[in-house]
Amino acid sequence: MHKREIVEALIFSGSGSVSEKDILKALPETSPEELREHVDDLNRHYEETGRSFRIERASAGYLFVTREEYAPYIKALHTPARLSLPSLETLAVIAYKGPCSKQAIDSIRGVDSSSSLKSLLKHQLIDIKNGKPMLYYTTPRFLEVFGLDSLSDLPDLKQFEEVFREEVREDMPDEG
Amino acid sequence: MQQAYTEASEREFVLRLPTFEGPLDLLLYLIEKNRFTLENLEVYPIIEQYLHYVEQAKSLDVTLAGEFLEMASYLIWLKSCLLLPSSKDETGGEEVNPAQELKEMLIAYRAIRQASQDLSMRPMLFRDRFPRGASQEERDISITGIGALLQAISAIKSRTRKYIMNVTANRFNIQGMIERIEGVLKRKQRVALHEVVDTKEKMELIGAFVAALELSKRSVARLIQSRLFAVIYIARR
């Protein structure tokens, strides 16, 4: 039995993400780097043999996900998740500025975010830190959904600010 | 958001109404439509166009969300600031540039909007990538955990708060409070205002204060307070 295949079996055994900590617990004398190498090796193998899935690292854990090109078929089986534009905007504020209060979110967006917050809570993409005021922050599930290892993987917000300061719009926005 | 249907094809704004998420979204649209960048932004025409839009919406009986009107009044204030000569002296030398404030607000909002578009371009789980055992049920899980609990508590709190307000307002009786103070003043020469109420409830304190004022007006009692925020005494006359 190879360690690589044991790693595969461990990740396969979880229906969602299996944390790096749990895998290392089951595989003593393995370093996180070694684990990462095995996962990379497995992914290379899947790619070479034309498999429909790969292993992804998200929020300090690993999970099997299907490749994007198979999404149209899988969508026929499961109704795909949808986030409204206001919810996405609210989520972006929390991802970049969180933990933050509802008031802070509303003031950046210029509108009331109550229903977006409710929907994001329902999808478990955000959670609330108790206190006064209540603070909203993104969950590990958020990282999983957007394929991020940590929040620091998000592109710098400054980059978006600079673009706007300098750019000259050639065409009108199309926000249909 | 409400839909606006109109036959008037020249009213391009109105046809676009449903796409604006809020006042900042509308302002950014106007800036882009005028081909301004934030550096060469002329605030004045943008304000005019924004107010024009709000007026048009009103004349077409479209109910705009409150935030649009709030922004309109902010912009009217901003316009007046721009028209008046610099009020540098009044503010004690510190120069406040309201137009700059608006710009910063727009930069921050626009960056977040870009970031949210960037987020939605990422391959999303349950949309572009599916984990093992992805099922409808799993995704429709209702809210759980501390978030749900806090939300429920805050919902209950806001309900009960309303309830208490109503009951206090209805139960509270100024005439009763006047009689109570008169009763106390029969026994004592003077009494502190906060001593005539049973609870620390704000509404009851206000009631006692109103009753004391009434007694003072009727020349039954005198109100004494040694200095600002000190204890208020009601004294028999």
Q: How many helices (H) does chain B have, and how many strands (E)?
A: 9, 3
The percentage of chain A sitting over the pLDDT mark of 90, rounded to a whole number, equals: 56
Structural domain contains residue A105: yes
Determine the pLDDT at residue A31. Answer: 92
Low-confidence winner among A55-69, A96-110, A124-138, A153-167 (lowest mean pLDDT) = A153-167
Q: What is the pLDDT of residues B74-88, one digit of tens each?
A: 888 888 887 776 655
Structural domain contains residue A80: no
**What's the mean pLDDT when you consider all of chain A?**
87
Q: What is the pLDDT of residues B218-230, one digit of tens each?
A: 888 998 888 888 8
Nearest to B150 among A109, A130, A144 (CB): A130
Average pLDDT over residues A10-39: 91
> A13 and A43: one domain?
yes
Structural domain contains residue A124: yes
Structural domain contains residue A67: yes
**d(Cα B23, Cα B26) in Å, to the nearest integer?**
5
> A120 and A140: one domain?
yes
- B 94-153: CB under 8 A from A: 105, 107-120, 122-136, 139, 141-148, 150-151
**Which residue among A50, A74, A98 closes a domain?**
A74
Note down the domain range covering A160: 85-166
- A 37-56: CB under 8 A from B: 56
**Would you call B107 and A166 a contact, using CB atoms and an 8 Å cutoff?**
no
Chain B residues touching A88 at Cβ < 8 A: 116-117, 119-120
H helix or E strand, kind and range, residue A55: strand A53-58
CA nearest to A155 within chain B = B115
Report ipTM for this prediction: 0.80
Nearest to A65 among B35, B129, B136 (CB): B129
**Which residue among A27, A48, A74 closes a domain?**
A74
Task: For chain A, say whether B34 makes contact (Cβ under 8 Å).
Answer: no
**Would you call A126 and B147 a contact, using CB atoms and an 8 Å cutoff?**
yes
Structural domain contains residue A174: no
The percentage of chain A sitting over the pLDDT mark of 70, rounded to a whole number, equals: 92
Structural domain contains residue A79: no
Domains of chain B: 12-85+97-121 (no CATH), 170-236 (1.10.10.580)
Looking at per-residue pLDDT, the higher value among A83 and B1 belongs to A83
Chain B residues touching A144 at Cβ < 8 A: 125, 131
> A69 and A7: one domain?
yes
Q: How many CB pairs under 8 A join A and B?
A: 175
> A68 and A115: one domain?
no
Q: Rounded to the nearest 5 degrees, what angle is found at the Cα of A152, between the Cα atoms of A86 and A166?
A: 65
Chain A residues touching B151 at Cβ < 8 A: 118, 121, 128
Q: What is the 3-state secondary structure (H, E, C) of A67-96?
A: CHHHHHHHHHHCCCCCCCHHHHHHHHHHHH
Rounded to two decimals, the pTM is 0.63
> A133 and A152: one domain?
yes
Q: What is the 3-state secondary structure (H, E, C) of B118-171?
A: HHHHCCCECCCECECCCCHHHHCCCCCHHHHHHHHHHHHHHHHHHHHHHHHHHH
Interface test with A, best of B50, B71, B105, B132 (most A CBs within 10 A): B132
Q: What is the pLDDT of residues A103-152, one digit of tens each?
A: 999 999 998 899 899 999 988 899 998 888 899 999 999 999 998 988 99
> A18 and A89: one domain?
no
Structural domain contains residue A173: no
Give me the number of domains chain A comprises. Answer: 2
Chain A residues touching B107 at Cβ < 8 A: 161, 164-165
> A89 and A156: one domain?
yes
**Which residue among A74, A99, A133 closes a domain?**
A74
Structural domain contains residue A114: yes
Average pLDDT over residues A35-55: 95
Low-confidence winner among A119-133, B107-121, B170-184 (lowest mean pLDDT) = B170-184
Determine the pLDDT at residue A174. Answer: 46
CATH number of the domain encompassing residue A159: 1.10.10.10
